[in-house]
Structures are given as C-alpha cells and as structure tokens.
Amino acid sequence: MRREPLDIRDRRPEEMEAYLSNFGWHFNKKMCEFAVSLMKKLNPSTGKKERIEPISKEKVDELLTRYGIKLENNALYDYVYVANMGKADYLKSSIPDEAHLALYIKDTIDDPDAPDGATMRRWYATMIAAGEPIEWDEML
C-alpha cells in the first residue's frame, strides 16, 4: 500500500506548485542543470571544493548503453542528476570507475522501495538544509 507523502498538504509557493503540477517530484532539464551547477568535488591536491564538469544526458545514455544498463523506473532527467551526483560525491572513492557509476545510477533509479520522486525530494531536502533558494518559476 502506498501512503501519501507527509508534506502533501503543506503550503507551497505558487511557482513550486506550478512546477510540481507539470513535472511532479522529478528533474526536468532546467532543474537538473540548476542542481548540477551547484555540485562540487573536493580537489585532494588543493583541499578546495571545485565545480564538476557536468555529464550531459547524451553521455549518461552512452555510459548506460556501454555497460548494458536499462533503467526501469526513470522519470525525466532524474538519472542525469544521479549520474552527476555520483560523479561529484563518490567517483574515484566508493564508486571506483565508470562501470560502477552506471550500476550506481541503476541502483538509485530502480531502488524497489524508494517512493516516486525520492531522488528529487532528497535533493530538495538538501537545498532546504543548505538555505539554497530555488527559483521555481525559472525552472518551468
């Protein structure tokens, strides 16, 4: 049985409601580009955070094809966000190489007990905690 999200009756800005009514809790292209633009990776040689070079949708598609990965539960640009997050936070650490990055994308997107929209909701919770505003009207 699927339960309603606990925030379903929260008051949200009109622009956020417009986004959610169009895309649900999923990344469209603009929202994905915005989210990825905020990602940074620690440079071990300098000890400073640096922006990542984003992986495009086309490159993620090539990566998944190269390793024979087919996603069952993807919506819109969620998998592109996950690929970039994996690159920023885990690649060359707990994700040793591109083959494992492809598996990470599959595991995250096709997680059998993750509710619909879990990927974007996790990101949104991070934005709230970080005090990072989202210009919802610009994401439509």
- Percentage of residues of the chain with pLDDT beyond 90: 87
Q: What is the mean pLDDT of the chain?
A: 94
Label residue 7 by pLDDT band (50, 70, 90).
Answer: low
* 6-10, 11-15, 30-34, 105-109: segment of lowest average pLDDT: 6-10
Structure confidence at residue 5 (pLDDT)? 57
For the chain, give the number of residues.
Answer: 140
Structure confidence at residue 11 (pLDDT)? 81
Q: Each residue of 31-84: pLDDT tens digit?
A: 999 999 999 998 889 999 999 999 999 999 999 999 999 999 999 999 999 999
